[in-house]
Structures are given as C-alpha cells and as structure tokens.
Homo-oligomer: A and B are copies of this chain.
Amino acid sequence: MVRDGLLVRDVGEQGLLKRLQSFCPAELVGDDGAVLTPSPGRSLVVTSDLLVDGVHFSDQTTQPEDAGWRAAAANLSDLAAMGASPLGITVGLAVLGTVPVTWVERLYQGMVDCLQLYGTAIVGGDVVRSPVTTIAITAFGEAEPTHIIRRSAARPGDAILVTGIHGASRAGLELLLHPESGQELEPGDRAALIQAHQRPNPRLDVLPLLWQVWAAEGKSQPTLPTSHFPALHLAGMDSSDGLADAIVQICTASGVGARVERSQIPLPPALVAWVGSEKALDWALYGGEDFELVLCLPLEMAQRLVNTLTGAAIVGVITAEPGIVLVDADKSHPEVPLTLERGFQHFESTFER
C-alpha cells in the first residue's frame, strides 16, 4: 500500500467523493441518485455483492486495481449468469480514514477498467468512514423477459455445459500466496494462472452466441406461431463459488440430479502438469472464482454452442434421479458425490478469498 501522499481523512468525505466522480460519467453523478433509461419492454435484473477487507480481498494477494477489477467482474458475471446486459453499477465504499487516497483511486480505476471493457460504468455510490474497508456493489442490467437464465429451469436430459476452463483462478491464488511454488511452470503459463485470479473475465460475450443458437433452434421449429413460442428452456449460473457449487445449486433449485464426467471438465494443461490431474480437478470443482457460466440446455443446443464457443465443453447430463455424482467413463475412479460442503462458506472457512 502506498504510504505517501494524502490520506482519506485529509480530504474528507466530500473531497473523496469529488475525486471519485472523475471515474463516473459526468451526466449521471452529483444528484441523490443516478437516472438510467432501460430499453422498453425489457426486464431489470439486479444483483449485489459485499467485499470485506481481510475476508474477500487483502493487500497480500491483491493490488487495489485488481481488487477493483475482481469486484466489478464478479457482479458483471452475475448479470451474465442471468442473461442480462449491464446498465451500470453503484459502488458503496466504507473506508478507514488512514487509507491513502491513491489506494481508493486505484481501486476505482480497476473497476472502471473492467467496466469499460464491457461498455458500462459506475453510475452512483456512497463513501463513508468505517474501521474496516468494505466495498458494496450493486449491478443492474436488462434482459428480454423471455431470455432470463434461472437456476431452477434445468430438466432431466439437459446437457451441462461450461463456457471455459476451471481451476485456473485457484492456481493463481496459490502462486500469489506461495510465490516459491510452481517453479516448474513456464513463465507464460504462470502469468496466465495469476491473471485468471487477478483479472477474471465475466462471460457477457457468451450471451450473443447463446441467443444465436437459440434463434437457430427456433427456426428449426417453424410450425409454432411466434406468440406461442415456448420460453427459452435454459438454466444456469456462474461458477464463482466453484463448478461443484454451481451444479449443486442448479440441481437443488430445479429438483433434479446430475452425472458429471470427470474427464470432460476442461482444466488448464499447465495446471495438470504442475499439480497432477487429481488436485487440478479438485481446484476446478471447489476452488471457485473462475467466473465461467454453467448452462443446462438441450443437448443439440449445447453442441451448437460448443461448436461456436472456443473453450466450452459439455461436462455432464441432468438426471431425474436426485443424486449429483462425479463419474468416470473409464471406471478407473469410483463415483463420488458432489457436495456444497467443500464449497465456500463465509462464516465457517478459516481461509476465505
């Protein structure tokens, strides 16, 4: 943390707010609230997150720019997981008076860097004093009412699709916590794993491809009049708390089970070479923060999406039976149940990201 220069208490709440306004579009700030114009007929999707210093981020592993990026990315990922395009985010910052102003500015710069990449912005917020630095983000987006992706819509027979590799973020965290580890990694691979942890990409880019695949599916059923066209049959969420968590949450919400094929889960090859396939798989399932989408949809649609989306893979199938199991087509591993218990529990874990 930079120790030179002004501290938050030197500039006060009003002074800090004034500086932070340079990170927001001028036409939206300075009143009691932001004013936005959603597209007519679209639903408003809202999601919010709290990040606490020492619990969700720390100076040990995270520069303020990266903490900002990750906070913004996590919220955009929640919008993507609902099928929504971002309209903006609000940022509430509770901060110690002894925090350098530059730390706060670097945090906001990281958020803006991520938001700009996805065509959106900070549109409002609040700054207050607190003994513990806390970042509260609310993101809002808009979606076609018929195109909202819910956890509860998975049906038996659906393919389970992931939009990319898993385990990279957990590997990057390991390298940041233990810089002496992973000496055998190529510099490029090492940097990519760290990047996956520090600068995750919310998969908003998946949505247009998904709607294309859906539209193609619609054209293949020309006998149905548009007004009677069934709502999109599509379930999903993001894998921010791990791939296992995402699958279990979807299955629980949908009242179904799943069979997940261990060899089909996409892992970074460098990670497998470094820690072995068992540990890499464990990090993919339970590490979290990969921010990929986990989608459940008819097999044909899933296959079309895999054909257009580099890195995507079909990893399993939704079943009518309630169990959620990791299976091995080769039968060289026993079937293992997937569970939330290994997942991220804020009040119970001793180490939390």
Contact = CB atoms under 8 A, between A and B. Distances in A.
Interface of A: 8-9, 11-14, 16, 30-38, 40-41, 43-52, 54-56, 78-79, 81-82, 84, 87-88, 90-94, 97, 123-132, 134, 136, 138-141, 143, 145, 148, 150-152, 237-238, 253, 340, 345-348, 352
B84 A33 contact: yes
Contacts of A148: 35
A204 B353 CA distance: 41
A8 B345 CA distance: 12
Listed residue (A93, A123, A134, A352) with the most chain B CB atoms within 10 angstroms of its CB? A134
Given A31-B151, A129-B352, A237-B32, A46 B90 contact: yes
Contacts of A91: 48
Nearest to A36: B44
A285 B267 CA distance: 62
Contacts of A35: 43-46, 82, 143, 148
Contact of A134 (B14, B32, B130, B346): B130
Given A38-B44, A48-B90, A134-B50, A78 B12 contact: no
Contact of A131 (B30, B131, B150, B152): B131
Contact of A94 (B37, B128, B134, B145): B134
Contacts of A8: 347
B125 A48 contact: yes
B52 A128 contact: yes
A277 to B, nearest CB: 30
Contacts of A31: 82, 150-152, 237, 253
5 contacts: A46-B138, A48-B91, A52-B131, A129-B352, A136-B136
Contacts of A237: 31-32
B44 A140 contact: yes
B40 A79 contact: no
Contact of A46 (B36, B97, B132, B150): B36
A47 B28 CA distance: 11
Given A44-B37, A44-B38, A50 B132 contact: no
B347 A79 contact: no
B46 A33 contact: yes
B47 A33 contact: yes
B30 A78 contact: no
Contact of A12 (B32, B33, B238, B345): B345
A140 B93 CA distance: 18
B37 A140 contact: no
Contacts of A346: 12-13, 127-129
Given A35-B44, A44-B87, 13 more contacts: A32-B81, A32-B237, A33-B139, A36-B45, A46-B123, A46-B124, A48-B91, A48-B125, A48-B136, A56-B128, A92-B136, A92-B138, A97-B347
Nearest to A136: B136
A32 B78 contact: yes
A24 B127 CA distance: 27
B152 A30 contact: yes
A90 B48 CA distance: 7
A33 B86 CA distance: 12
A196 to B, nearest CB: 21
